[in-house]
Structure 1
Amino acid sequence: MASELNQPVFVAGHRGMVGSAIVRRLRALGYANILTAGRDELNLLDQRAVGAFFDENQIAQVYLAAAKVGGIHANNTYPADFIYENLMIEANIIEAAHQSGVQRLLFLGSSCIYPKHAEQPMKEEALLTGTLEPTNEPYAIAKIAGIKLCESYNRQHGRDYRSVMPTNLYGPHDNFHPDNSHVIPALLLRFHEAVQRGDDEVVIWGSGTPMREFLHVDDMAAASIHVMQLDEVTYQAHTQPMLSHINVGTGTDCTIRELAETVARVTGFQGNLTFDSSKPDGTPRKLMDVSRLKALGWEASIGLEEGLNDAFQWFLDHQEHFRGQA
């Protein structure tokens, strides 16, 4: 283990929410040679540049957390960008890792890889068993391709490239843009602004009955490193050559109403919550089956309210950055 702590570990996408959490976790565990490269230093869409970076740095392990991400509006507006950039990023990094002799790599995907009407909770076996959610299909297809890239390099070249699929993530370095953020940062921002204005009501889209699962990004980082550190025999005993990815989540969910009530407590909002049932609810439930991950010895440890408090404090500490983004 001591020698592993000194090996070069490349975290692609270190400025994003997941990548930054992985870097924090690796540092806390004593990893002394963590490699990162921002967009101004390395264009991950440039195959030659990525290959040269790997050749120059003699990388031992890779966490592939880099991706083009966004909400429903962005996915609907720029589908070509989402499929092209994500395919190029993962293909360039995985091929460069192989060509430079990197034996172990972890690819981070998304729960959107599963069919729109997958049985709940969603098992790994649900992959490619039905049609995808149309709004983010290009992004999902790119993530599925990443899984299959890893599986293919393992089969053809004997590599040990692994994939983890997280549920809905939140935490430090989340996107708090008023128009493009996901549900947790959007609610934290809306309730905080309501408190600042002295509002006595917050209106929330939908009936509040849909159920969602949320995982703090620090738990995601811990799970990623746990999976990466598993010995190959143990990992393969719980996966299959053509079904090698592992779900990462809490295994529990809550209603949007329960989420909103918790956000109200965290932000100090004491007014009324009104649910606008004329607005769409989306999928009734979206929950990950995490039994495979539990069998491998890992479970989430950060409760929702604890995690929301942490995310909200991070927002308060950095809110100047988000002013004027609307």
Structure 2
Amino acid sequence: MLNNDSKIYIAGHRGMVGSAVKRKLEREGYENLIYRTSSELDLRNQQAVKDFFEKERPDVVVDGAARVGGIMANKEYPWQFLYENLEIQNNIIAASHEQDVGKLIFLGSSCIYPKHVDQPMSEDSLLTGPLEPTNQWYAIAKIAGVKMVDALRRQYDRDYVSLMPTNLYGPNDNFDLETSHVLPAMIRKFHEAKQNGHSPVPLWGTGSPMREFLHVDDVADAVFFTLNNEMQYDLYNVGTGKDITIKDLALLIQDIVGHEGDINWDTSKPDGTPRKLMDVTRMTQAGWTYNIELKDGIKATYEWFLKNLDRIKEVEIKS
């Protein structure tokens, strides 16, 4: 259980998930939060992470740090997605154990589950079949993290838990068309097409795959719930338990943005996994459910995008 003076380290505090967790904890009155930028602490550097943990000695760790991206990014940078994510999580989890951190939450992704698996995907389906090739590098790293948490629970009775969110969206998402996931990429494409006289919007694939989406403020709420409760299992899916086709998602975003042009589906591009729906029974039975409906969440995300567009473009230019 958290208390008001618990020292909480948020890894990846400037990312979408980490920043949402930081906002949630601050709203709940927790002030003893610690975090570092990547320039202040390179999480890939084992000795630097060890030194940081020895100095700060956090009571609680939330690991939201990772190299992330969509299909194209995973395809172009398989080594970085595998190796750097292994480095980051290995260093954080090992240092947490070595410094006797009381509670740790490891955040991953629904891509850890096999490509062709019974839907909805339960936690028990882990490692029961081949992964989706387009993001296998990231998935393998995250699976290793899940197993590290499991091993520490089994061998040392650590109160460490892995949370696997479904597809996330919301404030501080990545809207770069080269590296972003499907929902923020659509927001950007429809907005720019609207600004360009409602020009046609090209989208990958057939639009037939089904995906589940969770607002990042909801996953932050799930993290807060997990920090304040004894969790029976080492691994929990975090999602809505509801999905939507990519085509219907595109039409919903198109309507919210106000784009009145055509959508051109490029069927020569890959669809990815046919369906990804989370079985959220474990989390529901533990006492947590989501709050933000998809339409409301997309509206709020588009409003955030509009307010932060100059900053988004400035970051892309610098990178």
Show the counterpart of 2:276: 286
User: 2:17 aligned with 1:8, yes or no?
Assistant: no
- Spell out the pairing of 1:116-131 with structure 2 (5 A cutoff): 116-131=115-130
| CA-based RMSD | 1.6
Task: Give 1:77 shift.
Answer: 2.1
2:3 counterpart SS class: helix
Mapped pair 1:309 → 2:299? yes
Alignment partner of 1:77 is 2:76: yes
Partner of 2:177: 178
Mean Cα deviation higher: 100-109 or 79-88: 79-88
Are residues 253 and 14 of structure 1, via their aligned partners in 2, closer, same or farther at CA, if it must alter by over 3 Å? same
Structure 2 residue 249 is matched with structure 1 residue 250: no
Correspondence for 2:63: 64
Aligned-partner Cα distance in 2 for 1:321–1:87? 30
Give the corresponding residue for 1:259: 249
* 1:143 correspondence with 2:133: no
Q: Unaligned 5+ residue runs, structure 2?
A: none
Match in the other structure for 2:288 = 298
Structure 2 distance, partners of 1:273, 1:144, is 36
Q: Is the 8 A contact 1:213 1:254 kept in 2?
A: yes
**Percent identity of the aligned residues?**
51
Q: Is residue 104 of structure 2 the alignment partner of residue 105 of structure 1? A: yes
Question: Which residue of 307, 315, 319 corresponds with 2:309?
Answer: 319
Partner of 1:19: 18
Partner deviation per Cα, 1:51-98 (whole Å, 9 max, x = no partner): 121121121000011111122222222222221111111111111111
CA distance in 2, matches of 1:85, 1:103: 25
Match of 2:208 in 1: 209
* Partner Cα separation in structure 2 for residue 283 and residue 45 of structure 1: 30
Give the TM-score, by structure 2 length: 0.94
The amino acid across from 1:304 in the alignment is L
Secondary structure, counterpart of 1:310 in structure 2: helix
1:274: Cα distance to partner? 4.1
Contact 2:134 2:272 in 1 (8 A): no
State the shift of 1:205 in Å: 2.8
**C-alpha spacing 1:96/1:276, structure 2 compared with 1 (3 Å):** closer
Q: Per-residue displacement from partner, 1:136-173 (whole Å, max 9, x unpaired)?
A: 22211110110111111122222111000011001111
Which amino acid letter does the alignment assign opposite residue 165 of structure 2? P
1:28 partnered with 2:27: yes
* Structure 1 residues 38 and 56: alpha-carbon distance in aligned structure 2, compared to 1, 3 A threshold: same
The SS at the match of 2:308 is helix
CA contact (8 A) 2:11 2:62 kept: yes
Q: Residues of 2 paired with 1:13 and 1:282: CA distance?
A: 27
Whole-angstrom distance in 1 between the partners of 2:50 and 2:127: 31
Q: 1:202 to 1:307 in 2, by over 3 A?
A: same
Deviates more, 1:168-177 or 1:206-215: 206-215
Task: Count how many residue pairs are aligned between Structure 1 and Structure 2.
Answer: 316
What per-residue deviation string (whole Å, max 9, x for no partner) do you get for residues 101-145 of structure 1? 112100001111101111111010000101111222221111011
Contact 1:107 1:163 in 2 (8 A): yes
- Tell me the equivalent position of 1:96: 95
1:50 maps to: 49
Deviations 1:27-63 (A, max 9, x none): 0111110111111111111222111211211210000
The answer to whether the 8 A contact 1:162-1:228 is kept is no
Query: One-letter code of the match for 2:274?
Result: P
Instruction: Give, in whole Å, the separation in 1 of the partners of 2:31 and 2:142.
Output: 30
Deviation at 1:208, TM superposition (A): 2.2
Question: Is 1:188–1:263's contact at 8 Å kept on the other side of the alignment?
Answer: yes
CA contact (8 A) 2:132 2:273 kept: no
Q: How far apart, in 2, do the equivalents of 1:25 and 1:60 lie?
A: 18
Aligned to 1:221: 220
Amino acid at match of 2:57: Q
Return the alpha-carbon distance in structure 2 between the equivalents of residues 133 and 110 of structure 1.
13
1:275 alignment partner, SS class: strand
Alignment deviations for residues 157-212 of structure 1 (CA, whole Å, 9 cap, x no partner): 22111000011001111111122111111111111111111125434333322211
Q: Which runs of 5+ in 1 are unaligned?
A: none
